[in-house]
Structure 1
């Protein structure tokens, strides 16, 4: 095969120096056929391509090898075999050739398949306030010394490329609601259209084309913020390519090296600061002379005005046990004793659990994301203590119960009394009717007087509750003065003379 340098020498010798073909053949050591081919074709390079590749060993096994390669490509990425394992399976079928032939054939097969499946895309452009994209990613961080895989919600405005990132322990629906509420509050508005994948917290059913059956609560959220949801084609992440690209950027810029924080609150505060700093430093990909933050500030007037927080809870029914506990998400939460015997509605928020019965709030707790944990509110069990005051000492809800200072002092003093538990239960029961502040004040007043019995404290509460009407003095009409008396000192002189 002729090299490029020899072809160039032949062309220069003939067209520039005017040498004959015979002289060129003698100087360069090539045949006349080669020189004539170079001069007549006008080509500056020749490449040899074999029309038919002889495969004496692998030829009879081509179908089996292609079948093995196709099966391997169809497996999940983590379960795919190495090419050496494919070669070993082919050897097990009777193939006697070498590994290099299998490797070359597999490389050509993969390249041909990639060319056949390659697709072209059209770049997208969005008007200000037109659309945002939403997605989740999983990142690994150290929270309070423990390695945790957090679920990170990503929101991206398609026009300005402004980003919002927040970490959660779950990907559940209440977390989706909270991420939208915090993102729109940060943006101070929403877009007219939201682009999602077919996540189960939003889409109940996928129909032909773009038709979707959206979750009822998800539709309520979209209606609250005036957003039209749009779901992508299944397994077509490029339809929301901006937020897909953001996931990779955030993973490299924010979560590498591995973060070390004390709590989710600290992590999310840090992520929000980093989002703002990144937007202020990053140039916009289309308007290179402006940053993402500047484009975001220009887009803000075009956003749909922020409609306020959406009541983003996920509701499930539950039945309280006789120990005033309701099970939700592998944990237990206490309810008021009056709620036992009838079903309640568990409203799960991103950070708390609300328990309602007939529209009345019967319990509220910070949400726990562990397993097998029990969250008590001791005040829920105070009505039960009226029947069983002895449970105050060993009841699980009352262990490590932190009371206000005056109440705690009274509790310690009553422990020495024979009926101290009963007296303390009477004082605690008064909190349900008079309020904690009033009982705390009554306990402090009793302690100042050197007493701590329940009777005295309840008496002080009764006086605070009903002080009695003020005493007023009424003068009868007959005794009212009609003429104001005038002092006359001369009368005393007349009396003195009469006595003399």
Structure 2
């Protein structure tokens, strides 16, 4: 547990004063006060040097080191004559493959050598867990078809060791947003939090392993802090230490995602996976004891900790709105209203959502995009600009991507048949802007009435909407609608004027037919 967690627990749980904590950790009173008051996200960025780059072990470096060690094994080089990390550092530097420090290379070589060691015989201890005290979490790749596109996703699985009870969800990414989302879902699925959670050494959770010490990322510490569990991390290359979830990933992939299943959306896929997990628990029995899994889960619930307040896990980033009214995040475009062009904004990226904030105010929400070249452009964000440039209506990317109701398409065609294209576009844009002021039901009803009476201009649609929103008693009754417009029967309208004043225009509709 890091020092931040210890300090917060002493203050909030044990009631120790700031002064006593400052003496215990040999820290200033102000430092202790900041740790207690500030959110973890702000503590992370304090004191960081902007623009600092980290040296990482790239795939080319790993491959080159592996090649040198393979050559050493092939030649059966004696132990005292084996290549040292210093030699490998100089050799890869000479070849231009590695440009980091010798100290980093020693760490890389040490890790690779540790991973390459294999024992001829292995033995394992049979373990027994208190039901509900622990869960193991891991993920593995799986393919499926989402919305007609074949995608490779990451199947996250939580398994209760010793109970053969599993829960799984699938995400298009495996970054911290997905880890956080899965923790939220798995705890709510089991209706409780487990006191310990076992993981491997995923880089989202662990930033460095030094001997037996696992240095957690701030995100990992944030998970512990919110849900109040303790993390357990396996030794490097020891997947058997979390064997329950290793087997569970394969089980869920084989049984729930066999072949290449097709779904319309990610939400539909995850709903199906959750239902399958629930049915497995309701109908399944333990493979050794033959006890109902539902009964085992009830026993486990007695040892779980209570749920914590729901939290939405997002990754924050900073962006700037360009002249196309978009913020670029992960190579995808997300639109905002025109007035924010040139502004700096904050981006909250969830697994399936992108929320954009300006001065702590939400200005746009989008579905997160993952397919190459896919963008999210909201038509409403571009209507003000289109009002000034109506000739560009049907060339605007946001318009081309928008799915218009058939009634709106019919209305535009009627406008275009009566006036020149630019004027028809302007009238149509003005009608689209009305959507900001009225509910969808009233708006669509007004469009249908306008089409029925042949009064499709902006002024007529505004008049109809005004009548629909007036509180006075209508001058017509339900039977009038059933007789003249059965497609509108059942809707409730409050109009002050008699819409039959448009009766003469019906002739125009009949002539068109």
* Counterparts of residues 472-483 of structure 1 (less than 5 Å): none
Structure 1 range deviating more: 143-152 or 363-372: 143-152
Q: Deviations over 1:351-371 (max 9, x none)?
A: 222222222222222222211
- Tell me, yes or no, if the aligned pair for 2:155 and 2:249 is still in contact at 8 Å: no
Q: Deviations over 1:141-198 (max 9, x none)?
A: 4667765433111101235341112222221221112222222222112202211122
1:349 aligns with 2:350: yes
Aligned CA-pair RMSD: 3.6
Structure 1 range deviating more: 330-339 or 220-229: 220-229
- Picking from 156, 170, 191, the partner of 1:153 is 156
- Tell me, yes or no, if the aligned pair for 1:155 and 1:164 is still in contact at 8 Å: yes
Question: Residue 238 of structure 2 aligns with which residue?
Answer: 236
Secondary structure, counterpart of 2:388 in structure 1: coil
Shift in CA distance, 317/299, structure 1 to aligned 2, threshold 3 Å: same
* Counterparts of residues 107-126 of structure 1 (less than 5 Å): 118=121, 120-126=123-129
Q: Deviations over 1:370-424 (max 9, x none)?
A: 1121222111111112221222232121126333455444322222313222222
Shift in CA distance, 461/140, structure 1 to aligned 2, threshold 3 Å: closer
- Tell me, yes or no, if the aligned pair for 2:206 and 2:214 is still in contact at 8 Å: no
- Tell me, yes or no, if the aligned pair for 2:162 and 2:244 is still in contact at 8 Å: no
Q: Report the count of equivalent residues.
A: 363
Question: Residue 428 of structure 1 aligns with which residue?
Answer: 432
Question: Residue 310 of structure 1 aligns with which residue?
Answer: 311
Shift in CA distance, 337/210, structure 1 to aligned 2, threshold 3 Å: same
Question: Residue 77 of structure 2 aligns with which residue?
Answer: 67
Q: Deviations over 1:334-366 (max 9, x none)?
A: 222222211222222222222222222222222
Alignment gaps of 5+ in structure 2: 1-72, 83-116, 473-513
Question: Residue 457 of structure 1 aligns with which residue?
Answer: 461
Alignment gaps of 5+ in structure 1: 1-62, 73-112, 469-500
- Tell me, yes or no, if the aligned pair for 1:162 and 1:293 is still in contact at 8 Å: no
Structure possessing the higher radius of gyration over alpha carbons: 1
Q: Deviations over 1:241-271 (max 9, x none)?
A: 221232344455555x534323445544444
Normalising to structure 2: TM-score of the pair? 0.61
Shift in CA distance, 144/354, structure 1 to aligned 2, threshold 3 Å: closer
Question: Residue 140 of structure 2 aligns with which residue?
Answer: 137
- Tell me, yes or no, if the aligned pair for 1:377 and 1:397 is still in contact at 8 Å: yes
- Tell me, yes or no, if the aligned pair for 1:156 and 1:242 is still in contact at 8 Å: yes
* C-alpha separation in 2, matches of 1:114 and 1:219: 32
Question: Residue 371 of structure 1 aligns with which residue?
Answer: 372
Shift in CA distance, 405/297, structure 1 to aligned 2, threshold 3 Å: same
* Counterparts of residues 246-261 of structure 1 (less than 5 Å): 246-254=248-256, 258-261=259-262
- Tell me, yes or no, if the aligned pair for 1:196 and 1:240 is still in contact at 8 Å: yes
Shift of 1:459: 4.2
Shift in CA distance, 321/269, structure 1 to aligned 2, threshold 3 Å: same
* C-alpha separation in 2, matches of 1:68 and 1:295: 55
Question: Residue 395 of structure 2 aligns with which residue?
Answer: 394
- Tell me, yes or no, if the aligned pair for 2:164 and 2:286 is still in contact at 8 Å: no
- Picking from 198, 202, 207, the partner of 2:201 is 198
* C-alpha separation in 2, matches of 1:268 and 1:300: 23
Secondary structure, counterpart of 1:375 in structure 2: coil
Q: Deviations over 1:22-71 (max 9, x none)?
A: xxxxxxxxxxxxxxxxxxxxxxxxxxxxxxxxxxxxxxxxx985339999
- Picking from 202, 213, 217, the partner of 1:214 is 217
Structure 1 range deviating more: 204-213 or 413-422: 204-213
Shift in CA distance, 199/70, structure 1 to aligned 2, threshold 3 Å: farther
Question: Residue 92 of structure 2 aligns with which residue?
Answer: none
* C-alpha separation in 1, matches of 2:207 and 2:328: 25
* C-alpha separation in 1, matches of 2:316 and 2:368: 14
Question: Residue 128 of structure 1 aligns with which residue?
Answer: 131
* C-alpha separation in 1, matches of 2:197 and 2:222: 14
